[in-house]
């Protein structure tokens, strides 16, 4: 199942810089691990914002929820999820 996930990160202004950097490093490691597993298919930065648009490929809505809520930055995120399905006019035979 494919989902478009929009994430906006809002770290507290009072968070110490070292703590924020450590959190971002851990987030990157977790995200790249999910990409290597094929669960986090695409990741695009939204220009001018601390936000991204991503495509996840998961077995269920529950699995998506577990992956997202397990992200280190999850407590600081606003997340919008939309399920995706193939468009009948697509020229592709797969989900590339």
Which domains are present in the chain?
2-84 (3.30.70.1060)
How do residues 57-76 score in pLDDT, each as one tens digit? 999 999 999 999 999 999 99
Overall pTM > 0.75: yes
Alpha-carbon distance of 54 to 76, in angstroms, equals 17
DSSP H stretches of helix in 1-96 = 17-36, 61-69
pLDDT tens column, 18-63:
999 999 999 999 999 999 999 999 999 999 999 999 999 999 999 9
Examine the pLDDT at 95 and tell me if it is beyond 70.
no
**96, pLDDT greater than 80:** no
């Amino acid at each position: 199942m494919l989902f478009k996930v929009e994430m906006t990160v809002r770290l507290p202004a009072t968070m110490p810089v070292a703590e924020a950097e450590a959190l971002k490093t851990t987030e990157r490691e977790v995200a790249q691990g999910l990409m290597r597993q094929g669960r986090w298919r695409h990741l695009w930065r939204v220009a001018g914002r601390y936000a991204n648009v991503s495509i996840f490929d998961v077995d269920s809505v529950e699995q998506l929820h577990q992956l997202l809520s397990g992200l280190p930055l999850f407590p600081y995120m606003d997340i919008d999820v939309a399920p995706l399905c193939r468009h009948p006019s697509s020229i592709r035979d797969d989900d590339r």
